[in-house]
Amino acid sequence: MTAAAAAPAGRAENPVRSIAIAGGLFFIIGFFTWLNGPLITFVRLAFDLNEVNSFLVLMVFYLSYFVLALPSSMILRKTGLKRGLSLSLTVMAVGAAMFGEFATRRWYPGALVGLFTIGGGLALLQTAINPYVSILGPIEGAARRIALMGICNKAAGIAAPLVIGALVLHGIGDLADRLQAVSGPAREALLDNFAAKIHLPYLGMAVILLVVAAGILRSPLPDLKASEVNASSMPSGEADGRSVFSYPHLWLGVVCLFVYVGVEVMAGDAIGAYGRAFGLPLDQTKFFTAFTLAAMLLGYIAGLVFTPKIVSQDTYLRGSALLGLVLVGGAFLTKGYVSVGFVASLGFANAMMWPAIFPLAIRGLGKATETGSALLVMGIAGGAIIPQAFAALKQHYDFQAVFAVLMAPCYLYILYYAWLGCKARPSDPPMPAAGIVGP
């Protein structure tokens, strides 16, 4: 690609400031996303739930992406980038306030609605910010930029369970023992006091989100047009006049993101349940998510070093998928802390998957970029389905076998996409179909 092609007119002249702002937004995404692991522990105790019902935290949160991603793309066309980002943060603030209030009242349906609202705001935020980062520079280097965003995301993810662990889950092991020794009003009083610990942290997060939302409107963040910038990554004219249904590499990428987010959430949020199945204490398992995210942080640093100058995005993705398969095998063949260590190490294998899959899937979509991005964000619903399947199946079968059976096919599909699926060429523009409106 020539120097002129690397910096078309539609891109920001100096993207450093824009990347810094985007990094802050990815920190927010990471903090709220990776709170879900410790929240499973919190709701199971505060609402006196079984494991399957506690995993509804993940189900509701990630299903919001599936439901709201396409509406988000339509909203962004109306609002533009800045107002869309500000709106997404405002929606998240409302959801955070709702969750804190309903969790304090120990009304689980209301708390789940709050999480769904947070997820809805994140769907809008992700639909805007991921393609934005991808098109700030040449698409071939998008994995490197998204890896930098990932460092911000996972640094927040490491902090999230530590903060909630210190503010809300401190002494949870002792509390669980005390609850077994009491009943009736005394037990309810203990649970009420424990649940009330969540209110102030979530109220504080809501206030911070509103402040950042106001700041985004005053920021120098430029309004890039993805449909104009991304068209330059394909041969001239190739992206013109095509509907989103003409790109097999996009649709295969949607499936790839679905299974990827599933394995990422399994390694990050379900690792606490995995450790508890070995009988490991609650005061330790509440921090296991942070170990996975530390491994992901190392994986992002490695990605920054190796891609794209030394290893291409698709080659690195193939290596990551193979490493994932090896680590799943190690988790299955070992026990206790060693097995948990293999699961946490999946964070390293998973780190560069999103940064590689997303730009590979939207490459050359042109006018279909916004819709394609929304479809990819819908794939985040894999974080709802695969962990819930794990929670349900482990009630009846060996949990290590269930983990391996769910994870291995996902990594095999990611390997296929990196090898062949991402290279699928666009088909000829389809004939207009009744009821289908092109992007």
CATH code at position 169: 1.20.1250.20
Is the residue at 241 inside a domain?
yes
Closest CA to 266 of 399, 114, 130: 399
Q: Is 132 within a domain?
A: yes
Here the tokens at position 116 are 């769904």
Q: Which of 211, 122, 160, 208 is nearest to 42 (CA)?
A: 160
Q: Is residue 351 part of a domain?
A: yes
**Distance (Å, whole) CA 89 – CA 25:** 9
Count of domains observed in the chain? 1
Residue-by-residue pLDDT tens, the chain, 439 positions: 333 333 444 445 556 788 888 899 999 988 998 899 899 999 999 999 999 999 999 999 999 999 998 898 888 888 877 888 999 999 999 999 999 999 999 999 999 999 999 999 999 998 878 767 766 666 566 667 777 887 888 889 888 888 998 899 888 888 888 998 898 999 999 999 999 999 999 999 999 999 999 999 888 877 655 555 555 444 434 445 567 778 899 999 999 999 999 999 999 999 999 999 999 998 888 889 889 989 998 998 888 888 777 888 788 899 999 999 999 999 999 999 999 999 999 999 999 898 889 888 888 887 777 788 889 989 999 999 999 999 999 999 999 999 999 999 999 999 999 999 988 776 544 433 322 222 2
In a domain, 412, yes or no: yes
Is the CB of residue 117 less than 8 Å from the CB of residue 91? Answer: yes
Cα dihedral 279, 280, 282, 288, rounded to 10, equals -130
Rounded to whole angstroms, the maximal C-alpha distance in the chain is: 73
pTM above 0.75, yes or no: yes
**SS3 category, 333:** helix
Question: Is 69 a member of any domain?
Answer: yes
- Tell me, yes or no, whether 432 lies in a domain: no
For the chain, count helices (H), then strands (E).
Answer: 22, 0
Is 431 a domain residue?
Answer: no
The whole domain housing 51 covers: 11-423
- Evaluate whether residue 433 is within a structural domain: no
Q: Which amino acid is at 349?
A: A
| Beta carbons of 89 and 300 less than 8 angstroms apart | no
State whether the Cα torsion 57-63-64-69 is positive or negative: positive
Q: Locate tokens 């609605």: which residue?
A: 113
Nearest-angstrom CA–CA distance, 262 and 175: 31
CA distances from 154 to 115, 267, 295, 425 (A): 20, 13, 9, 33
